[in-house]
Amino acid sequence: MAPSPSDPATAVVVPVSIIAFLFGIVQLGTGTLFGVLPILIGAVGLLYLAGGGERIDEWLDTRTTADTTADDTSEDALTTLRQRYARGEIDHAEFERRLNELLETETVSDVASRNDERLVERSQ
């Protein structure tokens, strides 16, 4: 979604992008490579106007959500396993077998982040 024309940032981005783009074309026309930078500035402004900034933010949010969901899933599985063992639905051998399977699929960063969270919870 592109910014609205009444947005103050748009009021700055539009003229700066146009001026930078035109200045870059003039500089390239004179034979200097200094025109590349203003053209890039103009292109970034055009991407902003086309809603590129929001698309990047959405992409970053999606990646963060996917990473969090994966951590939550493994934590949920471990919690469920512990609850089933506590209720007596599975015996000790089954609990150990399933726990080992869960731990084999975890990465080092998963374990480290969970340990960091536990330390923060204990310190509060």
What was the pLDDT predicted at 22?
87
With 80 as the cut, is the pLDDT of residue 9 above it?
no
Rounded CA-CA distance 83/103 in Å is: 17
DSSP string, 22-83: HHHHHHHHTT-GGGHHHHHHHHHHHHHHTTHHHHHHHHHHHHHHHHHHHHHHHHHHHHHHHH
Give me the pLDDT at residue 49, please: 73
38-60 residues labelled b (16+ CB within 10 A) or e (exposed): bbebbebbeebbeeeeeeeeeee
pLDDT tens-place string over residues 87-102: 888 899 988 888 888 8
Residue with more model confidence, 50 or 19: 19
Question: What distance in Å separates the CA atoms of residue 115 and residue 92, rounded to the nearest whole number?
Answer: 24
Alpha carbons within 13 A on the beta-carbon side of 44: 8
pLDDT at residue 74 in the model: 61
In this structure, are residues 64 and 78 in contact, taking their beta carbons and an 8 Å threshold? no
Given pLDDT bands bounded at 50, 70 and 90, which one contains residue 57? low
Q: Which band of pLDDT confidence, cut at 50, 70 and 90, is reported for residue 7?
A: low
Q: What is the pLDDT of residues 67-90, one digit of tens each?
A: 555 556 667 888 888 898 898 888
Span 23-36, pLDDT tens digits: 888 888 888 777 88
